[in-house]
Amino acid sequence: ISACLVGSEMCIRDRIYRSKYGIKRVFRREISMQLHGSGRINSQGHLEIGGVDTCSLVEKYGSPLFVYDEGLIRDQCRRFHKALSKSGLDYHISYASKAFICKELVRIMKEEDMGLDVVSVGELYNALSVDFDSQKIHLHGNNKTEYEIGYALEKNIGCFVVDSLAEVERIDSIGGQMGKRAKALLRVTPGVEAHTHEFITTGNTDSKFGLNIDNGQAREGVEAILRAENIDLIGLHFHIGSQIFGTEGSQAAIKKVFVWLKDLKEDLDFEAKILNIGGGFGIRYTDEDISYPIEDALEEIITCLKESARSQGLSIPQLWLEPGRSIVGEAGYTLYRVGTIKEIPGIRTYVSIDGGMSDHIRTALYGAKYEVALANRMNEKDASLVTIAGKCCESGDLIAKDVRIPEAKIGDILVVACTGAYHYSMASNYNLMQKPAVVFVRGGKDKIVIKRESLEDLIKNQV
Ligand code: PLP
């Protein structure tokens, strides 16, 4: 039993989605894990991804190990392209690199005709290291340093997403010194916030990101950029939240922005050529996350965009998106070895694995929930209720609380699904844990894309 308890309408929508987009659930009596993309159980009862047995991957590369279903990453990019291209709008999709970046992923983004959203000189450097077209990159950040701005100008990035009044001056002055003209979107906060299943309209003035429409700062930002000698204002940006299901929040934000844009047109003769509405499309970590297909969401957003422009008498801007989680989240799995099993009679059983909050921080950070299974015993009955614990020195270092798996044994391979986004990219060396290796699988082949950190790597910058 699972999503059907949430509500009949959601349940029907969820079932249609599953059958339309091929999400499989392993139908055992007491079930644990949904399999996305190419995930399946092979004849040995092992989890297989991209045609590769995940247990053999652990034998080959060790654990913990991140495994990505490359085919699923590519499919997600194609779903966005397909939905947007049929709308007839001019559009641009930038993958939000903060979700996960490495050279191989950048190469894939290039092949899938995606742009890149980067938030630091580090992400920009990583993108450029494999000759990604700098014109298809935009730079975010609420405190871009002079070094970052200079570097981005030197590399001729497509545009800056300007976040503050101070930044307008900074870009203008550095651009002037370098003899470069920058293109910019202004990041605004439209007074709408959305997270998972809900959205709220808020004052939204208390955010470190962007300039607020209601208190007049966003307008000051527009005026400042229009006055700047070395910056061209080409549009606006907002991002109302992450892991969102449904489009009510995005639609409310779009409508609000267009009302404001009408004033800007009348008062300042400014028209946005581009409207970037950020990322935030939700993914199915567990059955509590009710499906909202990208295709349906985009259709609703595009209709709202066209209607809002029409009702304000404005032309329809290019639509830009910055999905991160929805491109890589469901494609990623983490594999661990079970090391210690401790039963506290009458209380709980802890199953400890060889990684932890150093490679999986979201559960400790904000209680994020995940589905887990034993990758080497996928067909066995989920017989025990356990808590999966990491090996870092924090009691809160948990991977999943009160989950059902088969009776675990030392040496089993525990798999955590949906770890493709904000896992490796948020990994740390806490407790001097070595960051795991990352492997991409597709068509029965595996390739290592990030090596496991060595002990030497851990101390190489120490003097
Ligand atoms: N754009 C901006 C400005 C963001 O802050 C984020 C996430 O924090 C994203 C895009 C990507 O969001 P998601 O991974 O939820 O698609």
User: Cα(302) to centroid of ligand 1, in Å?
Assistant: 19
Probe residue for ligand 1, chosen from 98, 244, 275 as the CB with the greatest number of ligand atoms within 8 Å: 98
User: Cα(278) to centroid of ligand 1, in Å?
Assistant: 6
Contact (Cβ atoms closer than 8 angstroms) between residue 279 and residue 325: yes
Q: Chain centroid to CA 53: how far?
A: 26
CA-nearest residue for atom 9, ligand 1, is: 279
pLDDT digits (tens, 9 = 90+) for 293-345: 999 999 999 999 999 999 999 999 999 999 999 999 999 999 999 999 999 99
Contact (Cβ atoms closer than 8 angstroms) between residue 192 and residue 216: no
Per the annotation, the verdict on 393 as an active-site residue is yes
Does any ligand 1 atom lie closer than 6 A to the CB of residue 279? yes
Q: How far apart are CA 388 and CA 348, in angstroms?
A: 11
Contact (Cβ atoms closer than 8 angstroms) between residue 279 and residue 326: yes
pLDDT digits (tens, 9 = 90+) for 151-199: 999 999 999 999 999 999 999 999 999 999 999 999 999 999 888 878 8
Strand ranges, E, within 99-149: 115-118, 137-139
pLDDT digits (tens, 9 = 90+) for 381-440: 988 999 999 999 999 999 999 999 999 999 999 999 999 999 999 999 999 999 999 999
Closest to 165 in 3D by CA, of 227, 233, 224: 224
Probe residue for ligand 1, chosen from 93, 242, 320 as the CB with the greatest number of ligand atoms within 8 Å: 242
Closest to 119 in 3D by CA, of 134, 97, 102: 97
